């Protein structure tokens, strides 16, 4: 009798549990929804600074893109970025729905604070492509503003005279200015005389080396010739995961070497030109920053195994970037795969020679050189 009572209680309990979690009225598929966890971008800190992963050129549906401002924050969080700037085009009849040039920034602030993404206020000063004004002025990003409306012409185009007046105000306000996509739309990256004049007045501080899928090698010379910071950015008007194959590489970014992830520290680092441009596992910038970045990523250890011509080494890559080294004497290539250890056989002569790091540019036609022996630990 006691056994029958216990069995009845068990059946009632089981039936009750099933009724609570699995009925014909309502069920859920457990584990079906994305958890939207914060991603991690593995690129090391260098020189006592934190490496800030940033996208400083993004658009929202407040100008000519199809993405809400808060969604840009969510994308950055999920991919693992530290900082972004929403740089919608200046209010013009052909672009904007809202006359307030700050609207996209204001709409993203709450989500940025919750997600821990540093949000930099900015905008894109825009002249018409394919018109005479474009080759003079182009497109210019202004960052670290307090009120974007101070820098906007209320016209349908931006000519050189207007841009000169706006950049004079920006300079007085200590606003950062980048000249964008120098090789678009005509595939000619040469600066106009007007742009060079603005740079010489101290009004432009950065140049995009990478924009979307485009690479402007000529612009690397401008980094040195005019003391500009190299910038990599998406200029994205679509969802990031729709535009870029993130299984292949991270989105285009600017790697900024700052004391911390605050707006103040990022601003200081950019004005000091402590930055490297990144896109599609390629780096471009000054040797004084790309070389420490490589050395912080790679280490070489002898395994103890030898043969008649040399010995085996283990190359460990602590970053997400696969680095490819080319021996110009033998045309041999070695790729240090990301976040893993690669074992290769190498001769003493090869260890002592200078190799080219083919996905790091320090000039339009010059790669960083590295002696594998110098990476031994």
What number is the average pLDDT over the span 334-338? 98
Please check whether residue 183 lies inside any domain of the structure. Answer: yes
The confidence score (pLDDT) of residue 156 equals 65
pLDDT of 336 higher than 60? yes
- How far is Cα 283 from Cα 230, in angstroms, rounded to an integer? 10
- How far is Cα 31 from Cα 167, in angstroms, rounded to an integer? 52
Please check whether residue 150 lies inside any domain of the structure. Answer: yes
Secondary structure (3-state) at 180: coil
- How far is Cα 44 from Cα 53, in angstroms, rounded to an integer? 10
Cα 341 from chain centroid (whole Å): 25
pLDDT of 109 higher than 80? yes
What number is the average pLDDT over the span 21-28? 82
> pLDDT by residue (tens digit) across 206-244?
999 999 999 999 999 999 999 999 999 999 999 999 999
As given in the structure block, the two tokens for residue 305 are 């195994």
Please check whether residue 41 lies inside any domain of the structure. Answer: no
CATH number for the domain harbouring residue 137: 3.20.20.140
- How far is Cα 270 from Cα 232, in angstroms, rounded to an integer? 13
312 and 233 inside one domain: no
Q: What angle do CA 188, 131, 201 make, to 5 degrees?
A: 65
Domain closes at, from 236, 251, 285: 285
The number of domains in the chain is: 2
The confidence score (pLDDT) of residue 21 equals 57
Averaged confidence pLDDT in the chain: 92
129 and 251 inside one domain: yes
What number is the average pLDDT over the span 264-292? 98
The pairing of strands 118-126 and 83-86 is parallel
245 and 343 inside one domain: no
253 and 147 inside one domain: yes
As given in the structure block, the two tokens for residue 295 are 């050395």
What number is the average pLDDT over the span 17-26? 67
Please check whether residue 5 lies inside any domain of the structure. Answer: no
Q: Which residues are registered as beta bridge partners of 298?
A: 317
Do residues 222 and 245 touch, judged by C-beta distance below 8 A?
no
Angle between helices 103-115 and 69-79 (to 10 degrees): 30
As given in the structure block, the two tokens for residue 178 are 């980048």
Dihedral, CA atoms, 131, 136, 181, 177, nearest 10 degrees?
Answer: -130
Please check whether residue 189 lies inside any domain of the structure. Answer: yes
247: closest CA among 79, 83, 73?
Answer: 79
235 and 337 inside one domain: no
Percent of the chain with pLDDT over 70: 90
Please check whether residue 29 lies inside any domain of the structure. Answer: no
A 10 A CB-CB count for 226 gives 16
- How far is Cα 122 from Cα 120, in angstroms, rounded to an integer? 6
**pLDDT-derived band at 1, boundaries 50, 70, 90:** low
99 and 177 inside one domain: yes
Domain closes at, from 254, 285, 316: 285
What number is the average pLDDT over the span 240-255? 98
85 and 165 inside one domain: yes
Percent composition of the chain: helix, strand, coil (DSSP 3-state, to 5) = 30, 30, 40
Please check whether residue 157 lies inside any domain of the structure. Answer: yes
305 and 276 inside one domain: no
**pLDDT-derived band at 95, boundaries 50, 70, 90:** low
What number is the average pLDDT over the span 93-98? 63
Which stretch of 29-38, 108-117, 141-150 has the lowest confidence by average pLDDT? 29-38
In terms of residues, how long is the chain? 377
pLDDT of 320 higher than 60? yes
Domain that holds residue 97: 50-285
As given in the structure block, the two tokens for residue 225 are 């010739």
In the block, residue with structure tokens 């009750």? 16
99 and 217 inside one domain: yes
188 and 336 inside one domain: no
**pLDDT-derived band at 260, boundaries 50, 70, 90:** very high
302 and 281 inside one domain: no
Domain closes at, from 244, 259, 285: 285
The confidence score (pLDDT) of residue 15 equals 47
> pLDDT by residue (tens digit) across 152-210?
876 667 888 889 999 999 999 999 999 999 999 889 999 999 999 999 999 999 999 99
DSSP characters for 10-63? HHHHHHHHHHHHS-SS----TT-S---PPP------BTTBEEEEEEEEE--TTT
Please check whether residue 20 lies inside any domain of the structure. Answer: no
145 and 216 inside one domain: yes
């Amino acid at each position: 009798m006691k056994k029958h009572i216990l069995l009845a209680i068990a059946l009632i309990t089981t039936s009750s549990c099933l009724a609570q979690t699995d009925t014909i009225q309502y069920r859920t598929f457990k584990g079906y929804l994305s958890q939207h966890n914060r991603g991690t971008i593995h690129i090391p800190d260098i020189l006592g600074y934190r490496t800030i992963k940033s996208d400083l050129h993004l658009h929202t549906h407040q100008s000519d893109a199809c993405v809400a401002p808060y969604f840009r924050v969510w994308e950055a969080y999920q991919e693992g970025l530290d900082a972004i700037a929403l740089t919608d085009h200046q209010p013009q009849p052909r672009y904007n729905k809202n006359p307030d040039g700050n609207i996209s920034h204001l709409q993203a602030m709450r989500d940025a604070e919750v997600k821990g993404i540093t949000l930099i206020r900015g905008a894109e000063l825009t002249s018409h492509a394919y018109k005479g004004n474009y080759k003079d002025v182009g497109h210019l990003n202004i960052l670290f503003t307090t009120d974007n409306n101070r820098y906007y012409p209320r016209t349908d185009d931006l000519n050189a005279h207007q841009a000169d007046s706006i950049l004079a105000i920006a300079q007085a306000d200590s606003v950062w200015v980048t000249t964008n996509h120098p090789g678009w739309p005509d595939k000619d990256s040469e600066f106009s005389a007007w742009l060079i004049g603005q740079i010489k007045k101290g009004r432009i501080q950065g140049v995009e080396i990478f924009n979307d899928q485009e690479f402007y090698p000529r612009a690397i010379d401008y980094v040195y010739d005019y003391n500009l910071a190299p910038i990599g950015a998406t200029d994205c008007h679509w969802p990031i995961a729709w535009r870029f194959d993130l299984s292949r590489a991270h989105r285009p970014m600017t790697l900024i070497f700052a004391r911390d992830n605050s707006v103040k520290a990022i601003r200081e680092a950019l004005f000091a030109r402590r930055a490297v441009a990144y896109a599609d596992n390629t780096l471009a910038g000054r040797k004084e920053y790309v070389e420490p970045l490589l050395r912080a990523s790679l280490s070489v250890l002898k395994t103890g195994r030898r043969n008649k011509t040399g010995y085996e080494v283990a190359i460990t890559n602590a970053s997400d970037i696969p680095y490819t080294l080319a021996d110009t004497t033998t045309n041999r290539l070695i790729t240090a795969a990301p976040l893993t250890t690669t074992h290769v056989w190498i001769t003493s002569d090869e260890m002592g020679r200078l190799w080219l790091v083919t996905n790091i540019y320090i000039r339009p036609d010059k790669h960083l050189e590295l002696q594998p022996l110098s990476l031994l630990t």
